[in-house]
Amino acid sequence: MTEVYPNQAQVKSDPELAGLRRGWMNIFQFRPDVACLSNNSISDNVLFCVYEYADQALFTPPIFDDFTAMDLVQTTLDSYFDGAFGYGGDRDIFVDSDPAIVIAAWCVAHGGAIGSNASAGSVKSAAWVRMKWLARRIHSVENYADHIIAADVDGDGLAESKRSGNCGSGIKGAGEWSSNWWDVVSFGWKDAYGNALDYRAFRCIAELERLLGRQDRAKLHSKRADMIRAVYYKTFYNPDTGVLAGWRSKDGALHDYWFPFIAGIACSYGLVTAQQGNAIMDKMQAKFSEVGYSNYRIGLPGNLVPIARKDYAGGGVMGQPSKDDGSDSFQIYENGGVTGSFVYFYLQGLYSLGRRAEADNILNAMLGGYRDGVYQNGVGSGVDWKRWDGTPCGYEGLLTDTYYALTAYMTGRLGKGVPMPTQ
């Protein structure tokens, strides 16, 4: 038997990190029948999750001789590049699929170069890059990056989904389905999460192009990243709440339900200044206290206030509200349900701003949950989502996204930083 997790000497000697030892490898759920990493080994393979596997694979020691977690990521990308089907494949709708693939390709190209003993960020030496694979696949990666550019229909630098995000544009006055991972929350048009990933993706592919000597393409992608950063804060900042909204719909309205992961990804990726980020996080932390949520052992709610019926998908989906204000289904599934999924961003956002004590408070509690197995209990058990008191309200039973938060131990607590080029 082989234990596979980073920073092994320190982790193994610290009982408080037992959850990291137990949970680290759970993210790598592989479906051999489709040759892709998936939600779990008998569930959907999903395009827009691939970067999560890739990020964690960067810090994962070899599984055994000559085989790494990154090999699973590379195999997954090769499957998609060669035409495999996956959820999120309609990239005109799901704006997070394109950047997820691009970011994962950057991670594969850098292989295990970052590792547990090196700092994250741009890897300067081409000798560390899997150049042969990259040269063979760069045109496939460019296809995804070019699709992001084509989705910027108004030329402001931000990609727009074909889903409008307008209130009540779904079934019988409910909302539409989503433009991203949060499938039944009516993210659409200008999506704050998707465009944050786009920013990172353009930074990543610009560096890959430079490594291949394709300077014109590198300049194009660097410019696109700069365009996103220039407009991100003013597009999504909500002066009424002091935090970032989840999306700006086609009719121009902001849709803000106090999403912790939106605040977190903006701070993690440097899309806001330190002053802006701290002001946003002050508001978020105060909101957690106001609504009375502190059960960090089971993760974080996706949103801290109820999502209105007009902004949540209809048709009998999980968590669908009947009341207009969404209060009747609050805390169920994606209407404020608690999960380990996407907690990475809030943790990393706090760590990136130097707010270590606040981040450690959440991560330490979650590590206890990982240690005790609260994030999985058999496919179909529903423990991937919970009410605030811990009652299951999900469906997968084991969802790989819930283990991505463990990456914050490396990138946040140990200060490695988000794996991405700085320019």
Confidence class for position 112, pLDDT limits 50, 70, 90:
low
Distances in Å between the Cα of 127 and the Cα atoms of 113, 115, 202, 207 are 10, 15, 22, 14
Question: Beta 30-31 vs 36-37: how paired, if at all?
Answer: antiparallel
At 126 the pLDDT is 35
Q: What is the number of other CB atoms lying within 10 angstroms of the CB of residue 165?
A: 26
Residue type (1 letter), 352:
S
Q: Taking 70 as the threshold, does the pLDDT of residue 124 lie above it?
A: no
As a whole number, mean pLDDT of residues 95-124 equals 72
Residue type (1 letter), 170:
G
At 161 the pLDDT is 98
At 64 the pLDDT is 85
Structure tokens at 382: 């529903």
Q: Is 39 in contact with 26 (CB distance < 8 Å)?
A: no
Local structure of residue 47 (DSSP, 8 states): G
Confidence class for position 130, pLDDT limits 50, 70, 90:
confident
Which strand (E) or helix (H) includes residue 338? Answer: strand 338-339
d(CA 103, CA 154): 24
* CATH classification (class only), 8-413: mainly alpha
Q: Taking 50 as the threshold, does the pLDDT of residue 116 lie above it?
A: no
Q: Taking 60 as the threshold, does the pLDDT of residue 122 lie above it?
A: no
Number of H helices, E strands in the chain: 13, 9
User: In 237-307, which ranges are continuous DSSP H helix?
Assistant: 260-268, 274-291
User: In 111-189, which ranges are continuous DSSP H helix?
Assistant: 131-150
Percent of residues, the chain, with pLDDT higher than 70: 96
Lowest mean pLDDT among 111-125, 270-284, 336-350, 361-375: 111-125
CB contact set of 287 (below 8 Å; sequence gap of 6+): 243, 258, 304
Confidence class for position 121, pLDDT limits 50, 70, 90:
very low
Instruction: Look at the alpha carbons of 41, 336, 21, 10 in this order and tell me if their dihedral is positive or negative.
Output: positive
Distances in Å between the Cα of 143 and the Cα atoms of 106, 109, 420 are 14, 17, 20
Distances in Å between the Cα of 347 and the Cα atoms of 29, 285, 361, 407, 408 are 23, 12, 10, 10, 7
Q: Is 22 in contact with 34 (CB distance < 8 Å)?
A: no
As a whole number, mean pLDDT of residues 266-275 equals 98
Sequential DSSP letters for 358-385: HHHHHHHHHHHHHHHTTT-SSTTS-TTS
Contacts of 385-391 with CB under 8 Å at 24 or more apart are 385/332, 385/333, 385/334, 385/337, 385/338, 385/339, 386/298, 386/299, 386/337, 386/338, 386/339, 387/331, 387/332, 387/337, 387/338, 388/293, 388/295, 388/301, 388/331, 388/336, 388/338, 389/295, 390/295, 390/298
Q: Is 246 in contact with 171 (CB distance < 8 Å)?
A: no
Residue type (1 letter), 314:
G
Q: Taking 90 as the threshold, does the pLDDT of residue 338 lie above it?
A: yes
Confidence class for position 129, pLDDT limits 50, 70, 90:
low
Domain range annotation of the chain: 8-413
